[in-house]
Amino acid sequence: DVVLTQTPVSLSVTLGDQASISCRSSQSLVYSDGNTYLKWYLQKPGQSPQLLIYEVSNRFSGVPDRFIGSGSGTDFTLKISRVEPEDLGVYYCFQATHDPLTFGSGTKLEIK
Amino acid sequence: EVQLVESGGGLVQPGSSLKLSCVASGFTFSNYGMNWIRQAPKKGLEWIALIYYDSSNKYYADSVKGRFTISRDNSKNTLYLEMNSLRSEDTAMYYCATISGFWGPGTMVTVSS
């Protein structure tokens, strides 16, 4: 199974600063069709997860441009510039390239 | 507006069965693959099953393979998860989610004697 290793486990950020989360895969996430099915989700306290980024770098509808996904192959990063109070929660990467599909273990973002 | 509403959760004994439903609205349900994903209390997310838009393919996590069955009825805009031989470790919030990224609020399943 593909293991997604997220670092750091938790992150404390001052409002207005940048946050960066890494997601490393145990296998390449490039699918046979050439696409890379790596997503980023945010689960705010008490809510269902919400999609932020799909296929590495595409922002989902309504997601602010402060959220930037990047990477390729096995190494991926989510950057949040100018962190705002509503950004707190747990961030998960998720791969849908290989069966079984898998999530990273999550990164908890706290506001200082 | 896309809406997914799960139902069917509850408190059940180990070894018993339960069937979850997820009713979809606000989009063309028959065009989209669907997932079930669960989250044990205070834990991370675990993908458990995927079904293609036309039910032609189904995939399962090893933790539920042989015990859980995903299915759908496109005429009713409804996704199902039939769960058999339930164990305490199946206790979790169960979410349905489209492959395009929309999630429901979840339904809680508690397996306990």
Residues of chain A with Cβ-Cβ distance to B44 below 8 Å are: 90, 92, 103-106
Does residue A112 carry a pLDDT above 90? Answer: no
Contact B80, B72 (CB under 8 A): yes
Of A39, A48, A100, the CB nearest to B61: A100
Query: What is the number of residues in chain B?
Result: 113
- What mean pLDDT is predicted for residues B24-30? 96
Of B44, B99, B106, the CB nearest to A105: B44
Of B47, B59, B102, the CB nearest to A103: B47
Residue with token string 């959760």: B9
Does residue B100 carry a pLDDT above 90? Answer: no
The tokens for B49 are 């099953």
Between the alpha carbon of residue B36 and those of residues A73, B16, B55, B58, B113, the distances in Å are 26, 19, 14, 11, 25
Q: Which of B35, B36, B47, B94 is best to mutate for the A interface (most A CBs within 10 A)?
A: B47
Of A43, A50, A102, the CB nearest to B47: A102
Structure confidence by residue, pLDDT tens digits, A41-72: 999 999 999 999 999 999 999 999 999 999 99
Does residue A107 carry a pLDDT above 90? Answer: yes
Taking the CA of residue A2 and the nearest CA in chain B, the distance in Å comes to 12
Contact B58, B35 (CB under 8 A): no
Structure confidence by residue, pLDDT tens digits, A3-47: 999 999 999 999 999 999 999 999 999 999 999 999 999 999 999
**Cα-Cα-Cα-Cα dihedral sign, residues B46, B49, B53, B56:** positive
Which pLDDT value is given to residue B99? 87
Taking the CA of residue B104 and the nearest CA in chain A, the distance in Å comes to 7
Contact B46, B61 (CB under 8 A): yes
Structure confidence by residue, pLDDT tens digits, B59-97: 999 999 999 999 999 999 999 999 999 999 999 999 999
Distance CA B78, CA A72 (A): 36
Contact B37, B102 (CB under 8 A): no
Which pLDDT value is given to residue A28? 98
Distance CA A30, CA A85 (A): 34
Touching B: A residues 78-107, CB under 8 Å: 90, 92, 94, 96, 99-106
Residues of chain B with Cβ-Cβ distance to A102 below 8 Å are: 47
Does residue A99 carry a pLDDT above 90? Answer: yes
Measured between CA atoms, the residue of chain A closest to residue B41 is A46
Structure confidence by residue, pLDDT tens digits, B35-68: 999 999 999 999 999 999 999 999 999 999 999 9
Our measurement of the distance from residue A78's CA atom to the centroid of its chain's CA atoms, rounded to an integer in Å, reads: 5
Q: Do B59 and A102 touch (CB under 8 A)?
A: no
